[in-house]
A and B are shown apart, each in its own frame.
Chain A
Amino acid sequence: MNPALTNAIVEALPHVDGYVYPNEQNLLWSTLIVVYPYVTGLVAGAFIMASLVRVFRVQALEPVYRLSLLTSFSFLLAAPLPLLFHLGHPERCLQIMMTPHVSSPMAMFGFVYAWYMMAVLLLELWFDYRHDFVIWAEKERGLKGVIYRLFTLGVHDLSEPALRLDERMGKIISIIGIPSAFLLHGYVGFIFGSIKANPWWGNVLMPIIFIFSAIVSGISLCVVVSLVVNWARRRAQDIRCLDMMGRFLFYALVADASLETLDWVHRLYAADESIYVLKSLASGKLFYTLLIGQACLGTLVPFLVLGFLQLFRRHVAPLMRQHLYALSAVLIMLGVLAMRWNVVIGGQLFSKSLRGFTTYKMELAGHEGWLMSLALLVLPFVILGFLMRFFLPVHRPDSIGQGAAVKVVA
Chain B
Amino acid sequence: MNKPASRRHVLTSLGSALAGVLSFSAARTAKAAVQNVLVSTPAPNRYRAAEHRWLMAIDIDRCIGCGLCAEACKTENQVPVGAYFRTWIERYIIKRPEPGSVQLRGDTVVDSPNGGMNGFPPSPVPREQILKAFYVPKLCNLCEHSPCSQACPVGATFDSPDGAVLVDPHYCIGCGFCIQACPYGCRFFNPLTKTADKCSLCYHRITRGLRPACVEVCPTEARIFGDLKNPVENDPLQQFVMKNKVQTLKPHLGTEPRVLYAGMDKEVR
Q: Whole-angstrom distance between the alpha carbons of A107 and B157 in the complex? A: 13
**Residue A185 is within 8 A (CB to CB) of chain B in the complex:** no
Interface residues of A in 64-123 (CB under 8 A from B): 83, 86-90, 92-93, 95-96, 99-101, 103-107, 109
Q: Whole-angstrom distance between the alpha carbons of A198 and B179 in the complex? A: 11
**Are A107 and B113 also in contact (CB < 8 A) when A23-B188, A29-B180, A196-B183 are?**
no
* Chain B residue nearest in CB terms to A14: B83
**Residue B69 is within 8 A (CB to CB) of chain A in the complex:** no
Q: Whole-angstrom distance between the alpha carbons of A353 and B92 in the complex? A: 13
Interface residues of B in 70-121 (CB under 8 A from A): 71, 74, 81-85, 88, 90, 109-115, 117-118
Taking a contact as CB atoms under 8 Å apart, the answer to whether B82 and A353 are in contact is no
**Residue A355 is within 8 A (CB to CB) of chain B in the complex:** yes
Interface residues of A in 206-221 (CB under 8 A from B): none
**Residue A165 is within 8 A (CB to CB) of chain B in the complex:** no
Taking a contact as CB atoms under 8 Å apart, the answer to whether B181 and A99 are in contact is no
Among candidates B81, B180, B185, residue contacting A9 with C-beta atoms closer than 8 Å: B81
Contact pattern, B 234-263, Cβ under 8 Å of A = 1, otherwise 0: 000000000000000000011000000000
Return chain A residues, CB-CB under 8 Å to B161: none
Contact pattern, A 305-336, Cβ under 8 Å of B = 1, otherwise 0: 00000000000000000000000000000000
**Are A109 and B115 also in contact (CB < 8 A) when A23-B188, A89-B173 are?**
no
Taking a contact as CB atoms under 8 Å apart, the answer to whether A22 and B85 are in contact is yes
Among candidates B112, B147, B152, B269, residue contacting A22 with C-beta atoms closer than 8 Å: B112
Consensus secondary structure, chain A interface: loop
Q: Whole-angstrom distance between the alpha carbons of A99 and B34 in the complex? A: 14
Return chain A residues, CB-CB under 8 Å to B173: 87-90, 92-93, 95-96
**Residue A19 is within 8 A (CB to CB) of chain B in the complex:** yes
* Chain B residue nearest in CB terms to A96: B153
Q: Whole-angstrom distance between the alpha carbons of A26 and B83 in the complex? A: 8
**Residue B189 is within 8 A (CB to CB) of chain A in the complex:** yes
Among candidates A1, A25, A100, residue contacting B117 with C-beta atoms closer than 8 Å: A1
Q: Whole-angstrom distance between the alpha carbons of A29 and B195 in the complex? A: 14
**Residue A262 is within 8 A (CB to CB) of chain B in the complex:** no
**Residue B187 is within 8 A (CB to CB) of chain A in the complex:** yes
Among candidates A22, A100, A106, A107, residue contacting B185 with C-beta atoms closer than 8 Å: A22
**Are A197 and B175 also in contact (CB < 8 A) when A23-B188, A88-B189 are?**
no
Among candidates B90, B176, B269, residue contacting A28 with C-beta atoms closer than 8 Å: B176
Interface residues of A in 101-156 (CB under 8 A from B): 101, 103-107, 109
Q: Whole-angstrom distance between the alpha carbons of A24 and B83 in the complex? A: 8
Q: Whole-angstrom distance between the alpha carbons of A88 and B169 in the complex? A: 11
Return chain A residues, CB-CB under 8 Å to B182: 197
Q: Whole-angstrom distance between the alpha carbons of A196 and B183 in the complex? A: 8
> Taking the nearest CB of chain B, how far is it from the CB of A194, in angstroms?
8
Q: Whole-angstrom distance between the alpha carbons of A353 and B171 in the complex? A: 30
Return chain A residues, CB-CB under 8 Å to B138: 21
> Taking the nearest CB of chain A, how far is it from the CB of B232, in angstroms?
33
The number of residues on chain B lying at the interface, defined by a beta carbon within 8 Å of a beta carbon of chain A, is 51
Among candidates A13, A99, A191, residue contacting B155 with C-beta atoms closer than 8 Å: A99
Taking a contact as CB atoms under 8 Å apart, the answer to whether A3 and B118 are in contact is yes
Taking a contact as CB atoms under 8 Å apart, the answer to whether B253 and A197 are in contact is yes
> Taking the nearest CB of chain A, how far is it from the CB of B172, in angstroms?
7
**Residue A354 is within 8 A (CB to CB) of chain B in the complex:** yes
Q: Whole-angstrom distance between the alpha carbons of A25 and B189 in the complex? A: 12
Taking a contact as CB atoms under 8 Å apart, the answer to whether B180 and A23 are in contact is no
Return chain B residues, CB-CB under 8 Å to A3: 118
Taking a contact as CB atoms under 8 Å apart, the answer to whether B113 and A106 are in contact is no
**Residue B224 is within 8 A (CB to CB) of chain A in the complex:** no
Q: Whole-angstrom distance between the alpha carbons of A126 and B176 in the complex? A: 37
**Residue B150 is within 8 A (CB to CB) of chain A in the complex:** yes
> Taking the nearest CB of chain A, how far is it from the CB of B102, in angstroms?
20
**Are A88 and B195 also in contact (CB < 8 A) when A10-B113, A96-B154, A103-B150 are?**
yes
Interface residues of A in 1-48 (CB under 8 A from B): 1, 3, 5-6, 9-10, 12-13, 18-26, 28-29
Interface residues of A in 166-214 (CB under 8 A from B): 191, 194-198, 201
Taking a contact as CB atoms under 8 Å apart, the answer to whether A106 and B269 are in contact is no
Q: Whole-angstrom distance between the alpha carbons of A23 and B86 in the complex? A: 9
Taking a contact as CB atoms under 8 Å apart, the answer to whether B83 and A106 are in contact is no
Return chain A residues, CB-CB under 8 Å to B181: 195, 197
Return chain A residues, CB-CB under 8 Å to B177: 104, 106, 191
> Taking the nearest CB of chain A, how far is it from the CB of B257, in angstroms?
12
Taking a contact as CB atoms under 8 Å apart, the answer to whether B187 and A23 are in contact is yes
**Residue A299 is within 8 A (CB to CB) of chain B in the complex:** no
* Chain A residue nearest in CB terms to B155: A101
Return chain B residues, CB-CB under 8 Å to A348: 180
Taking a contact as CB atoms under 8 Å apart, the answer to whether A196 and B253 are in contact is yes
Q: List 14 A-B contacts (CB under 8 A).
A: A3-B118, A9-B81, A19-B112, A20-B185, A23-B83, A28-B179, A86-B176, A87-B173, A87-B174, A88-B176, A104-B151, A196-B254, A197-B184, A352-B183
Chain B positions near chain A (C-beta within 8 angstroms): 71, 74, 81-85, 88, 90, 109-115, 117-118, 138, 147, 149-155, 171-177, 179-189, 193-195, 253-254, 269
Chain A positions near chain B (C-beta within 8 angstroms): 1, 3, 5-6, 9-10, 12-13, 18-26, 28-29, 83, 86-90, 92-93, 95-96, 99-101, 103-107, 109, 191, 194-198, 201, 348, 351-355
Which 8 A-B residue pairs are closest in the complex by CB-CB distance? A88-B174, A21-B185, A88-B194, A197-B183, A107-B153, A106-B153, A19-B110, A101-B155
